[in-house]
Chains A and B, each alone.
Chain A
Amino acid sequence: MNGEALLSDTGWSIGSIWFVMLAAGALTYLTRFGGHILISLLGTIPPRASAALDAVPAAVMTAIVAPVLVSGDWPERVAIVVCLILSLRLPLIAVVVIGTAMVAGARALGL
């Protein structure tokens, strides 16, 4: 399979994939009952810590997507800006389908 060649190219062995799966699952479960433990120990979460926690998803996901603006080719850059505008109006799954179709279309046309 072409896929397995991809991951071994980047240094990921079968063992490390299963390790990450189990460790990431354990860390996620920790976050899912961690608040219950915290609240029974502390009574409440400090407001500043709560504001920081709130910001985590937007901050991390923005950081993941930002390099497309500088690393992609023109079709990807244009598509990501169009999707930014579309996402003000359309539901997420529609934006994903339209954005992916735009990039696939541009490649089919050889842009």
Chain B
Amino acid sequence: MAAIRALLPVLLAVLPFGIVYGAVAVQEGLTILQAMGFSATIFAGASQLAALQLMGIGAPIWSVLLTVFALNFRHVLYSASLSRHLGTFSGPQKALAFFLLVDPLFGAAEARAATRRLTPAYYLTYGVLMYVGWQLATLAGASFGELIEDPDAFGLDFVLPVYFLGLVMGFRKRGLFYPVAGTSLVVSVVVYWLAGPPWHVSFGGLAGIAVAAVIGPQKRVDEVAREDKAGGAS
């Protein structure tokens, strides 16, 4: 089926991150069941890893929730755009469709809708298989992670910083990348010195977002969405 053909290369790119997430989650102290619970309820790799990072440094609950919400806020744009293409979906199918809405699925759905009618069969096949794959990858990673005695010797504590660095660099072609990332970098380091964690995340992030709001729009939403296709289940 067309959905499966479109999904396979994406799965190869995304599943390693599910494995990384699972391994890091058990090293941070989650049980396998808890690690899979986060994958089941959130289903968004970057925010799951960010939540782990913040819980690991003892951040308060509200700051973990705020960070997850902020990182996933881009989905508001996706669902706004996608809602134009869901004409043939029933109410429950729409509810499920939005629950499964991750970056690659958004890209695939928009690409499909550009050439023909987006059917529930195509969208939900892609989405459900991706969801199942993410849970299995989490399970594999968590089972593997439990076997490791000394995670620091394997550099596992460095996985999260380098993962976020790589993700950030993936955004560098966006219009406001350098002013936004530069501002967040400087403010984060300064706040980290002055107030310590977890404040650097909230204040550094807000500073960068404020810069983008002040400078204003540079690029159209659908161009950014096309770039996000390459970003995996971030």
| Residues of chain A whose beta carbon lies under 8 Å from any beta carbon of chain B | 1, 3-12, 16-36, 38-40, 45, 47-71, 76, 79-80, 83-84, 87-88, 91-93, 95-96, 99-104, 107-108
Report the Cα distance A38→B43, complex, angstroms. Answer: 22
Indicate whether B130 reaches chain A with its CB closer than 8 angstroms. Answer: no
| Residues of chain B whose beta carbon lies under 8 Å from any beta carbon of chain A | 13, 16-17, 20, 26-31, 34, 37-38, 40-44, 46-47, 50-51, 53, 55-58, 61, 64-65, 67-84, 94-95, 98-99, 101, 146, 152-156, 158-171, 174, 176-177, 180-181, 183-185, 187-189, 192-193, 197, 200-213, 215-219, 221, 224, 232, 234
Name, among A9, A32, A53, A104, the residue most crowded by chain B CB atoms within 10 Å (CB to CB): A32
Q: Is A95 in contact with B56, judged by CB distance below 8 angstroms?
A: no
22 A-B contacts, Cβ less than 8 Å apart?
A3-B27, A10-B57, A11-B58, A25-B41, A27-B65, A35-B80, A35-B83, A36-B82, A48-B213, A51-B176, A54-B221, A60-B208, A61-B167, A62-B181, A63-B184, A64-B53, A65-B164, A67-B192, A71-B192, A96-B159, A104-B154, A107-B155
Main secondary structure of the interface of B (DSSP, over half): helix
CB distance from A97 to the nearest CB of B (A): 9
Residues of chain A with a CB closer than 8 A to B67's CB: 60
Smallest CB gap from A102: residue in B: B155
Q: Is A84 in contact with B165, judged by CB distance below 8 angstroms?
A: yes
Q: Is B37 in contact with A18, judged by CB distance below 8 angstroms?
A: yes
